[in-house]
A and B are shown apart, each in its own frame.
Chain A
C-alpha cells in the first residue's frame, strides 16, 4: 500500500515505540502535523519555543531510558534547536530531532525559512541526515534511532524536505539496522579487565571516579556491588550523580571544581584511579598535571576517543561500563576471600578525616534564606525521591552538593554545555515520562527566564512540575567569579530588575508562592507538594552567597578555596 512521506515518518515512530514527542509546527512540517491528527498512539506536546522541545526530549530520555523525540519546522525552528542539541551531544543523551526543510528543488536557493541545519549541526550531533529520496526515508529514521541509543548515545538530526513528506511510495520498513561503518564495542576485552583487576587488587588507596556512562549503561547495581566488594570509595562527576547512592558510607560526594574536599583529596592521594564512564573534563581535573599525580589510571569507556584524550591512561578498557563491571564482579567472586574492610581501614579513615575537617557546609541564618538550606529542605521533604532538574550556575552546584541523589536517572542537568534554560523544559520532559513522580526544577532567577514561556505548556497539559527559584537577583555564578577574581566588579550581573515571579506564575495560570524568611521555606515547599498543578516557588535568598568549596580555574584540585 502506498504511503506518503509524512505517514512513513509517523509509522517509523510507532515502530520505534515512540509515545510522546515535543514540538512546534510550521510550514515545512505541516504535512507531518496533519498526519499527527490521525495518529492517536503518539501524544504531541506543543512547546512555546523550539529550544524547549529539545531540552524536554532530553529530560524525557534521561528519565525514561528511551530515545526522546522533537519535531520542528525549517529555518528558525531548526536553528532554535541548536542549543538543545549541543547540550544533548555534550551529555551523550539519545534524542532524535526532526526538522522540516524546504522542498529539495529549492535547497540552496535561499528559500523562505531555509537553513542548512545539517551543516549547522554537523559538529554537535552524533550524526545527521538530509533525506533527499523517499525510498531512503524509513531506513534513515530507523538508523537515526539506532545511532542515537547505541554505543555512546547522542543526538541525531533528520532533516525532512517538504516534498519528501508529500511524496508517496510503497515503503519497505527495515526489520534490522546494520551499519557497516558503525560497530560500537560493547564487550570489554577480558584480558584488559583482568589486568585492571590485578592493579586494583594491589592498590592501597584506590578511588572510583564515575561519570554519566554509569547512568547511560544502567550500571548502578554493578558499580555498587564492585565498590562494596573491594571497599573502594566512590566519587562522581556532575553527570554521574545518582549512579551511586548519595547516602552510602563509601560515597564521597562529587569531585572537581565544586566537589567536596574529601573527594578531591582522595583523588589527589589515590594510587589507583578507576575512571568509569567519565571523560576527565577540565571542571573535574583542574590543572591537569596535578590531577591524581601519583595514580595509575584505569579508564573504562565505550568511546575510544574519550580514552587518553586529556590524561594518559595506563589501562584503557573500551566497552560498555555495565559489561566491564560485570566482568570485574565475576572475577572478584572467584578470588580467595580477603578482609577488605580491614585492609581499607586506614585509607577510609583518612577520607573520613578529610570529610570531618571540611564537610560541605554553609553559615546557617535565622534572618535570611540560605540557598543551600532550600535544597536541603527539598531533599528532606521529598525524602530524596524527587526527580531533580537544574538550570546552570550556582543553583546547579547547590543542587549537586546538597541533594543526596539515591538513584540513577533522577538528576538531569546540562553538564557539558552548561545551557541556562535547560532545567525547566527538561523537567517538563521528565514529568511526561514519569507522570506520577515529583519533578522539581532547581532554578536561578537568571536561568528561569530563559525558557519561562514553557509555563504555558505545563499549564495547558497539566504537568505538575515544581520550580524552585533560588532568587538572589544576580547572575550568581558569574557574580561569584567577579567577587573572587575580579575585585567585585559586578559587570552586568545584577539582575534585580526582575519580574514578580509569583504574579508571573499566576499570569500563566500556574501557582506562585514566595518565601522571604527561613521559617517560610518549609511551609512553601510543603504547600507546593500538595498542589497537583505547576507551582513556581520564589525563594528570596542571600544575595552574595558563594558556592564553596571552589577550585579556581587553572588551579590544582587540592588548592581549593574552602567555605
Chain B
C-alpha cells in the first residue's frame, strides 16, 4: 500500500487523567520513540480529574498514526483527537517586551494596534505586548517588532479546539 511520506504539522488533543506523572509518560513516549514535539500546552479541564494536552508534532502519515496509537495505549489516556483532520481553531500567545524609545514609541504602538495586540506593561523605554493569534500571525508580528529590538519574549504552545457544528 503506498505510504504518504510527506511530513505535515499535526495538532493533537489528548485528554489524560489529571494525576502526577502523566505528563512525563506522554513526553517520555515522544522522546523514547524518537517522535518530535514542537509545542505542548496542558491544563485542567472543567472536570478536575481530567487534563487536556494540546500538542503539535509533525511526521508522515504512518508516524502520526503511530503517535496517536501510542498515546491511546497509555493507561492514563482518556481520549486522543487529531484536530488537523477536523475543522478547528488554533491560537498561540506571546508576551514580548520591545524597545520603544522616542520616535519608535509610536511605531511600536501602531504595529500593536494593527495586529490587535494589548499593551500589558509600559516603561519609559519599553512596551510589553500581549499577542494572540495563529502561528502565522505571531510570526508576522514578531518579524515586524524584531526591527525595534525585542528585549524579552515568552511564547505559549498552540491551543486548539474543534469548531462547533453550525446546524
- Pair B78/A181 contact, Cβ less than 8 Å: yes
Q: Is B45 an interface residue (CB 8 A)?
A: no
Q: Which of A254-262, A300-308, A325-333, A406-414 contacts B (4 or more CB under 8 A)?
A: A300-308
A304 near B72 (CB under 8 angstroms)?
Answer: yes
Q: Is the CB of B17 within 8 A of A181?
A: yes
- Given A181-B17, A305-B70, are A123 and B78 also a contact pair (CB < 8 Å)? no
- Are the C-beta atoms of B69 and A127 separated by less than 8 Å? no
Q: Which B residues touch A182, using CB under 8 A?
A: 75
Chain A residues, CB < 8 A from B25: 122
Given known contacts A181-B75, A308-B62, A312-B1, is B28 in contact with A118 (CB within 8 Å)?
no
B21 at the interface (CB under 8 A from A): yes
* CA of A365 to CA of B64, assembled, Å: 55
| Whole-angstrom CA separation of A180 from B17 in the bound complex | 10
The answer to whether B32 and A305 have CB atoms under 8 Å apart is: no
Residue pair A309, B78 in contact (C-beta under 8 Å): no
* B146 CB to nearest chain A CB (Å): 40
A445 to B116, CA, bound (A): 74
- Of all chain A residues, the one with the shortest Cβ separation from B66 is A309
Q: Which of A119, A126, A182 has the most CB of B within 10 A?
A: A182
8 Å CB interface, B103-158 against A: none
Residues of A within 8 A of B24 (CB): 119, 122
The residue in B17, B28, B65, B73 that gathers the most chain A C-beta atoms within 10 A of its C-beta is: B73
> In the complex the two chains form, is B65's CB within 8 Å of A123's CB?
no
Closest to A179 in B: B75
Interface residue? B86 (CB, 8 A): no
Nearest-Cβ distance from residue B132 to partner chain A, whole angstroms: 32
| Most B C-beta atoms less than 10 A away, residue of A130, A305, A313 | A305
A274 interface hit (Cβ, 8 Å): no
Which of the residues A118, A309, A312, A314 comes within 8 Å of B3, measured between beta carbons? A312
Please give me the residue from chain A that is nearest to B33 by CB atom.
A123
Tell me, yes or no, whether A200 is within 8 Å of chain B by CB: no
**Tally of contact residues, B, Cβ under 8 A:** 21
Residues of A within 8 Å of B65, CB to CB, are 308
Q: Are A305 and B76 in contact (CB under 8 A)?
A: no
- Verify A314–B75 contact, CB threshold 8 A: no
Q: Is B77 part of the contact surface with A, judged by Cβ < 8 Å? A: yes
State whether A123 touches B69 (Cβ < 8 A). Answer: no
Chain B's closest residue to A122 (CB) is B28
Tell me if A147 is interfacial: C-beta within 8 Å of chain B. Answer: yes
- Please determine whether B69 and A304 come into contact, CB atoms closer than 8 angstroms: yes
Residues of A within 8 A of B1 (CB): 312-314
Provide the bound-state CA to CA distance between A308 and B66, in Å. Answer: 8
Chain B hits for A123, CB < 8 A: 28-29, 32
Could you say which residues of chain A place their CB within 8 Å of the CB of B28?
122-123
What's the nearest-Cβ distance from chain A to residue B20, in Å?
8
CB distance from A119 to the nearest CB of B (A): 7
Of all chain B residues, the one with the shortest Cβ separation from A309 is: B66
> Which of the listed residues B3, B24, B69 has the most CB atoms from chain A within 10 Å of its own CB?
B69
Partner of B77, one of A147, A181, A303, A314: A181
User: Who on chain A is nearest to B78 by CB?
Assistant: A181
Interface string of B67-109 (1 = CB under 8 A from A): 0011011011110000000000000000000000000000000
Contact B21 A118 (CB under 8 A): yes
CA distance A197 to B3 in the complex (A): 24
* Chain B residue nearest to A118 in the complex (CB): B21
Chain B contacts for A309, CB-based, 8 A: 66
Q: How far is the CA of A287 from the CA of B73 in the complex (A)?
A: 28
Query: Are the C-beta atoms of A147 and B69 separated by less than 8 Å?
Result: no
In addition to A305-B73, A308-B66, 13 A-B residue pairs with Cβ atoms within 8 Å of each other are A119-B21, A123-B29, A123-B32, A181-B75, A181-B76, A181-B77, A303-B73, A304-B69, A304-B72, A305-B72, A308-B62, A312-B1, A312-B62
> Could you jot down 14 A-B contacts, CB within 8 Å?
A118-B21, A122-B24, A122-B25, A123-B32, A181-B75, A182-B75, A303-B73, A304-B73, A305-B69, A305-B72, A309-B66, A312-B1, A313-B1, A314-B1
Interface residues of B (CB under 8 A from A): 1, 3, 16-17, 21, 24-25, 28-29, 32, 62, 65-66, 69-70, 72-73, 75-78
